[in-house]
Amino acid sequence: MSVYIALVIAFVVSYLIGNINFARIFSWVFAKKDITTVGSKNPGTMNMLRTRGFGEAILTLVMEAIKSGVPALVSYYLIGHFYAGYADLAFFIAGFAGIIGHCFPVFYKFKGGKGVACTFGLFTFHPIFWWMSLIGFVICFLLLLFVVKFGSVVSLFYVTGMSVVATVLFSISNHPFLIALLVIIWLNVVMIYALHHANLHRLFTGKENKVDLMSKLKKKKSDENLKKENESVIEEKVEDENKEKGNSNDDLSKDA
């Protein structure tokens, strides 16, 4: 089998895996709701944050990252093992295919998410870029938490920043597939910006929705406290009922 057939197989398999949409799955499992009918109607991490809260948003982010990153990593080692020098090319072809599958899923009539979480997976699972991606994520998380408040701005900042980093490092190393890698990386950037066109329009017209991440975290904490309070109330009721039963049994024994 030639390396080109192997790359095509990696692309197709990764695209199909990318069709799995965890925002849709988790929204239905946890709330019996279709994520495409609530909030911004986008089946992605940011809409999960707005409509379902911090915990389910993080779970969605992690699974979407795995969805695009793992097939890319498998392609990196498998194709790189049999075809020397093709590891990075295989990685980015497979990873980009997973992002395309997420954004334009054939199983959902080509209506998918915007690809940011999958791009996070693309860079996080790369053997070289993983630590830079995690640092970038922390920076963007802190920006969203304390400064910017616009999820679209933070998302595009991360995608652009990591793409610039990858471009610089591949250029410095004079990678043998430099042109192909840069084409893939920046096609992904263009695609994600195009999918955020409505967000950019709202941003420039002052109508973009803000994400108050702090309130989401506080809400999660208050929900947990409420759950604990409800559990303690239930336990107290059970204890009272048991005491009442015990007292009634004692009275019956005395009467006997």
Q: What is the 3-state secondary structure (H, E, C) of 120-179?
A: HHHHHCCCCCHHHHHHHHHHHHHHHHHCCCCHHHHHHHHHHHHHHHHHHHHHHCCCCCHH
Same domain flag for 223 and 199: no
Query: 190-199: b or e for each residue (b if 16 or more CB lie within 10 Å)?
Result: ebbeebbeeb
Question: How would residue 243 be classed by pLDDT, with cut points 50, 70 and 90?
Answer: low
**pLDDT for 1:** 80
- Residue 220's domain comprises 213-256
For 5-25, what is each residue's pLDDT tens digit?
999 999 999 999 999 999 999
The amino acid that residue 153 corresponds to is V
- Report the distance separating Cα 199 and Cα 152, nearest Å: 7
For 150-166, what is each residue's pLDDT tens digit?
999 999 999 999 999 99
For 167-190, what is each residue's pLDDT tens digit?
999 999 999 999 999 999 999 999
Same domain flag for 132 and 182: yes
- Report the distance separating Cα 215 and Cα 225, nearest Å: 15
pTM, full prediction: 0.84
Question: How would residue 226 be classed by pLDDT, with cut points 50, 70 and 90?
Answer: very low
Judged against a pLDDT cut of 90, whether residue 105 lies above it is answered with yes
Domain count, the chain: 2
Same domain flag for 229 and 186: no
Same domain flag for 147 and 201: yes
Three-point CA angle 145, 21, 40, nearest 5°: 50
Same domain flag for 118 and 51: yes
Same domain flag for 90 and 201: yes
From 51-55, 95-99, 129-133, 244-248, the region with the lowest mean pLDDT:
244-248
Same domain flag for 204 and 187: yes
Judged against a pLDDT cut of 60, whether residue 28 lies above it is answered with yes
